[in-house]
Amino acid sequence: MADEFRLNLGALRSAMQLTLHTHHASRIWHGRARTEDRAGIIGLNGFVGIMNKMKHGAEQDDPYSDWWMLRIEAKLEDTKVQLQTLREQVDQVLANVPPALSLGENLNVQPVKLPLFVGSQLGFLAVYLLAAYDDIVRRLILAHHTALIDRRTMDRWLEEGAHLLRSTFTMAQQYRYSGAIRDDFAANNAVARAAREKYGELPQDILEGTRRSRFAPPIVRRSALSGNAEPAAPRSAAGSADALADSTVVESDTATETTDEDSPT
């Protein structure tokens, strides 16, 4: 009876944007394009695209995508902890301001507002880290402007935070979609053997689907005959081989320039 009243609803959408106040955070968002003289540097924008692809691979029952989601999730958590430690160091410096002096928030008069198109939870975790770094940069610039730290200390801490983010994004560039599914490994067919040779062995609990990222999507089985997709519970490495649909890549789109002051006014 309830089906008779079911509405033909579309997908939910929410407008999102990220506000950045510093050049340092903006450069990490955009990364650096590759040139003849310099290697390219992946930015958060590119990282989000890889995370979207990785999530899609895990949805298609690619165990290597599941393994990579776990690795990236752990790396993001480690980066979060280290950024928090850096933030606490900066807070200790700012605590040395005399009680008679009141310091307000160091905000850009014209911050950049970046529209977000993020299709994965791991992508959002990275966005939160960039926002945290932007906050650290603002406070470091304030501390230097008010003579609480020298420029060398400021530059060292700025680079330390930037390196944490860049190393996380660079790690994600190693990810490749294998094109294999768990049933291939159960059958030990040519697809599985080729994947093992190219990408290495996987832990047994990853192959069985018993250990996945807490943000892993439901696995979708696809029929080679009908092309219909149905959600599947995490499977053990047993059963017949299913045909795998082509992987698609969902990229994140933004293109915005930013300006900020090097010191507060």
Residues 136-166: tens digit of each pLDDT: 999 999 999 999 999 999 999 999 999 999 9
Whether 132 is covered by a domain: the verdict is: yes
210 or 39, which is more confident: 210
What are the pLDDT digits (tens) for 20-54?
Answer: 999 999 999 999 888 888 888 999 999 999 999 99
Whether 263 is covered by a domain: the verdict is: no
Whether 62 is covered by a domain: the verdict is: yes
Whether 14 is covered by a domain: the verdict is: no
* Closest listed residue to residue 134, CA positions, set 19, 248, 230, 39: 19
Whether 245 is covered by a domain: the verdict is: no
Residue 233 confidence (pLDDT) above 70:
no
198 or 226, which is more confident: 198
Let me know the angle formed at the C-alpha of 244 by 238 and 249, rounded to the nearest 5 degrees: 130
Whether 37 is covered by a domain: the verdict is: yes
Residue 107 neighbours by CB under 8 Å, 6+ apart: 21, 138
What are the pLDDT digits (tens) for 59-99?
Answer: 999 999 999 999 999 999 999 999 999 999 999 999 999 98
What are the pLDDT digits (tens) for 99-114?
Answer: 898 888 888 888 999 8
Residue 237 confidence (pLDDT) above 90:
no
Instruction: Give the total number of structural domains in the chain.
Output: 1
**Domain span holding position 144:** 19-232
Whether 249 is covered by a domain: the verdict is: no
Q: pTM for the full model? A: 0.79
What are the pLDDT digits (tens) for 160-201?
Answer: 999 999 999 999 999 999 999 999 999 999 999 999 999 999
Do residues 16 and 114 make contact, with C-beta atoms less than 8 angstroms apart?
no
Please give the structure tokens belonging to residue 150.
């020298």
Average pLDDT across the chain, whole number: 84
Q: Which spans in 8-150 are helix H?
A: 23-30, 44-59, 63-94, 121-145
